[in-house]
Structure 1
Amino acid sequence: MKFSEIWLRSFVNPAYSGDQLAHALTMAGIEVESIEPVASAFDNVVVAEVVSVERHPTADKLSVCNVKTGKSDNDLLQIVCGAPNVSVGARVPCALIGANLPNLMIRKTKLRGIDSSGMLCSAKELGISEVADGLLLLPNDAPVGMDFRSYYQLEDRIFTLSLTPNRADCLGVQGVAREVSAITDTDILLPFAIENVSDEINDTLNVHVTAPDACPLYCGRLLRNINLNVTTPLWLTQRLERSGIRSINPVVDITNYVMLEIGQPMHAFDLAKITGGSIQVRYAFSHEKIQLLNGDQVDLTPEMLLITDEHKPLALAGIMGGSESGVTYSTTDIFLESAFFSPAVISGKSFHLGFSSDSAYRFERGVDFAATRSALERASYLIHSICGGQAGAVIEIKHELPQRSSVDVRMERIKRILGIDLNKEQIGNYFRRLGFKFSEKDKCFSVMPPTYRFDLMIEEDFIEELARIYGYDHIPTHYPYASMTMLPEPETQHTTIEIKQTLINLDYQEVINYSFVDADWEADFVDNHKPIMLLNPISSQMNVMRSTLIGGLIANLQFNLNRKQVRVRLFEVGCCFLREDERDCKQIEKISGLSYGDFSSEQWGIAARNVDFYDIKADVEVLCRGKSVEFKRFSHPALHPGKSAEICFEDRIIGWIGELHPRWQTKYGLQKNTILFELNLHSLKPKLLPLIKEISKFPPVRRDIAIIVDNEISAYSLLSCMQTVKSAIISDISLFDIYRGNGMESNKKSLAFRVLLQDTEKTLTDEQAEYAITSLITILKNQFGAELRN
Structure 2
Amino acid sequence: MQFSEKWLRSLVNPPLDSDALGHLLTMAGLEVEEADPVAPPFTSVVVARIVETEKHPNADKLKVCKVDAGKGELLQIVCGAPNAAAGMLVPCATVGAVLPGDFAIKAAKLRGVESFGMLCSARELGLSEDHGGLLELPMDLPVGQDIRTALALDDIRFTIKLTPNRSDCLSLAGVGREVAALTGTALALPAAEAVAPTIDARRAIVLDAPEACPRYCGRIIRGVDAKAPTPEWMKQRLQHSGVRAISVLVDITNYVMLELGQPLHAFDNARLDGSVHVRYPQPGEQVLLLNEQTVTPSADTLLIADEARALALAGIMGGEESGITLDTTEVFLESAFFAPDAIAGRARSYGFSSDASHRFERGVDFELPRLAMERATRLILDICGGEAGPVEEAVSPQHLPTRPAVRLRPARVRKLLGIDLGDEAIAALLERVHLAVHREGADFLVTPPSFRFDIEIEEDLVEEIARLHGYDNIPAVAPQGTLLMLDRSESGRSAWDVRHLIAARDYQEVVNYAFVDAAWERDFCANPDPIRLANPIASQMGVMRSSLIPGLAANVVTNRNRQQDRVRVFEIGRCFERKADGEPVSGFRQPLIVAALAAGPAQREQWGAAARNVDFYDVKGDLEALFAPASLGFERLSHPALHPGRAATVLFEGRRIGIIGEIHPVWVQRYDLGPAPVVFEVELEAALAASLPAYREISRQPAVVRDLALVVGQELPVASVLAVLREAAPAIVCDIGLFDVYHGKGIEPEKKSLAFRVLMQDTHRTLEEAEVEQAVESLVRHAEAKLGARLRG
String of CA shifts for 1:731-786, please: whole Å, max 9, x gaps. 655444456889999x96846342526486965342441342243255444xxxx8
Give the structure 2 partner of residue 155 of structure 1: 154
2: distance between equivalents of 1:265 and 1:520? 51
Equivalent position SS for 2:399: coil
Aligned to 1:754: 756
Give the equivalent residue in structure 1 for 2:280: 282
- Residue pairs, 1:573-722, within 5 angstroms: 573-574=572-573, 590-595=593-598, 597-601=600-604, 609-623=612-626, 626=630, 628=632, 630=634, 632-636=636-640, 654=658, 658-659=662-663, 681=684, 684-686=687-689, 699-705=703-709, 707=711, 709-710=713-714, 713=715, 715=717, 718-719=720-721, 722=724
Higher mean C-alpha displacement, 270-279 vs 450-459 = 270-279
Give 1:4 shift.
1.7
Work out whether residues 155 and 240 of structure 2, in 8 Å CA contact, stay in contact via their aligned partners in 1. no
Q: Deviations over 1:9-57 (max 9, x none)?
A: 1111111111122222233333323322222222221223444454444
Which of 760, 763, 770 is the matching residue for 2:777? 770
Aligned match of 2:583: none
| Residues 444 and 551 of structure 1, relative CA distance in 2, 3 Å threshold | same
- Aligned-residue RMSD, C-alpha: 4.7
Relative to structure 1, the CA distance from residue 490 to residue 315 in structure 2 (aligned partners, 3 Å threshold; closer, same or farther) is farther
User: What CA distance in whole angstroms lies between the structure 1 residues aligned with 2:79 and 2:417?
Assistant: 66
Residue identity in the other structure for 2:241: S
Deviations 1:50-106 (A, max 9, x none): 44454444334433334343557xx54332223345455543211112212221121
Counterparts of 2:460 and 2:34, CA distance in 1: 27
Match of 1:38 in 2: 38
- Which whole-Å deviations, capped at 9, do the CAs of 1:379-435 have from their partners, x for residues lacking one? 444445445555553333334233322233333333333333333443333223222
Q: Which amino acid aligns with 2:758?
A: L
Q: Deviations over 1:446-487 (max 9, x none)?
A: 322223333323333323322322222223344433233344
Which structure 2 residues correspond to residues 152-551 of structure 1 after superposition, within 5 A? 152-193=151-192, 195-196=194-195, 198=197, 200=199, 202-210=201-209, 212=211, 214-221=212-219, 228-268=226-266, 277-282=275-280, 305=302, 317-319=314-316, 336-347=333-344, 357-388=354-385, 391=388, 393-398=391-396, 399-440=398-439, 443-487=442-486, 489=488, 495-512=494-511, 532-533=532-533, 535=535, 537=537, 544=542, 546-547=544-545
Which of 57, 76, 79 is 2:77 aligned to?
A: 79
Q: Is the 8 Å Cα contact of residues 654 and 683 (structure 1) preserved in structure 2?
A: no
- Whether the 8 Å contact between 1:708 and 1:788 is mirrored in structure 2 is no
Whether the 8 Å contact between 1:719 and 1:733 is mirrored in structure 2 is no
Contact 2:640/2:664, CA 8 A, preserved across alignment? no
SS in 1 for 2:483: coil
- Is 1:95–1:120's contact at 8 Å kept on the other side of the alignment? yes
What is the CA–CA distance in structure 2 between the aligned matches of 1:590 and 1:571, rounded to whole Å? 11
Q: Aligned partner of 2:179: which letter?
A: V
Label 1:605 to 1:483 Cα distance change in 2 as closer, same or farther (>3 A).
Answer: same
Q: Secondary structure at the match of 1:430?
A: helix
SS at match of 1:98: strand
One-letter code aligned to 1:615: D
TM-score under structure 1 length normalisation: 0.81
1:641/1:661 contact within 8 Å kept: no
Question: What is the identity, as a one-letter code, of the residue corresponding to 1:81?
Answer: C
Q: Residue type of the partner of 1:756? A: V
Q: How far 1:149 moved relative to its partner?
A: 0.4
Give the corresponding residue for 1:112. Answer: 111
Q: Which runs of 5+ in 2 are unaligned?
A: 581-585
Distance 2:319 2:579 in 1: 46
Deviation at 1:270, TM superposition (A): 6.0
**AA paired with 1:436?**
L
Which amino acid in structure 2 is aligned with residue 149 of structure 1?
Answer: R
Equivalent position SS for 2:47:
strand
- Distance, in Å, in 1 between the alignment partners of 2:300 and 2:709 is 78
- Give 1:6 shift: 1.1
Q: CA offset at residue 188 of structure 1?
A: 1.1
Distance 1:788 1:601, change over 3 A: same
Give a deviation string over 1:551-601, Cα, whole Å, max 9, x none.
7667766776777766554444455666899x9877665555555555445
Once residues 549 and 378 of structure 2 are traced to their aligned partners in structure 1, the CA distance between those partners, rounded to angstroms, is 64
Q: Which segment is superposed worse, 617-626 or 518-527?
A: 518-527
Provide the C-alpha distance between the structure 1 equivalents of 2:155 and 2:607, rounded to a whole number of angstroms: 68
Assess, with a 3 A threshold, how the Cα gap between structure 1 residues 683 and 42 changes in structure 2: closer, same or farther: same
One-letter amino acid matched to 1:259: M
Q: AA paired with 1:776?
A: A
CA contact (8 A) 1:293 1:322 kept: yes
C-alpha distance 387-679 of structure 1, shift in aligned 2 (>3 A): farther
Match of 2:67 in 1: 67
1:69-148 counterparts in 2 under 5 A?
69-70=69-70, 75-87=73-85, 89-102=87-100, 103-129=102-128, 132-148=131-147
Match of 1:3? 3
Conserved 8 A contact 1:736-1:754 = yes
Aligned length: 774
- The change in CA–CA distance for 1:480 and 1:770 in structure 2 (over 3 A counts) is same
**Aligned partners of 1:318 and 1:269: how far apart in 2?**
14
Q: TM-score, normalised by structure 2?
A: 0.81
Task: Rate the CA distance shift 1:263–1:488 in 2: closer, same or farther, 3 A.
Answer: farther
CA shift for structure 1 position 155: 1.1
User: CA 1:444 to 1:586, structure 2 compared with 1: closer, same or farther past 3 Å?
Assistant: same
| Contact 2:264/2:334 (<8 A) preserved | yes
Q: Evaluate the alpha carbon distance shift between residue 166 and residue 619 of structure 1 in structure 2; reply closer, same or farther with a 3 A threshold.
A: farther
Give ranges in structure 1 of 5+ residues lacking alignment.
none
Structure 2 letter corresponding to 1:48: A
My pick for the range that moved more, 752-761 or 466-475, is 752-761
Instruction: Judge conservation of contact 1:660–1:674 (CA < 8 Å) in 2.
Output: no
More moved, 195-204 vs 41-50? 195-204
- Residue type matched to 2:756 in 1? R
Alignment CA distance shift 1:700-1:341 (3 Å): farther
Distance 1:144 1:4 in 2: 26
Give, in whole Å, the separation in 2 of the partners of 1:472 and 1:125. Answer: 44
Question: How far apart in 1 are the matches of 2:693 and 2:193?
Answer: 85
Percent of matched pairs sharing the same residue: 44
Matched residue of 2:632: which SS?
A: coil
> How far apart in 2 are the matches of 1:709 and 1:377?
103
Which amino acid is the alignment partner of residue 475 of structure 1? I
- Conserved in 2, the CA contact under 8 Å of 1:632 and 1:648? no
Q: Is the 8 A contact 2:721 2:783 kept in 1?
A: no
Equivalent residues of 1:63, 1:82 under 8 A apart: yes
Shift of 1:694: 9.3
The 2-side partners of 1:416 and 1:690 are apart by 54
**Contact 2:620 2:660 survives alignment (8 Å):** no
| Offset at residue 172 of structure 1 (A) | 2.1
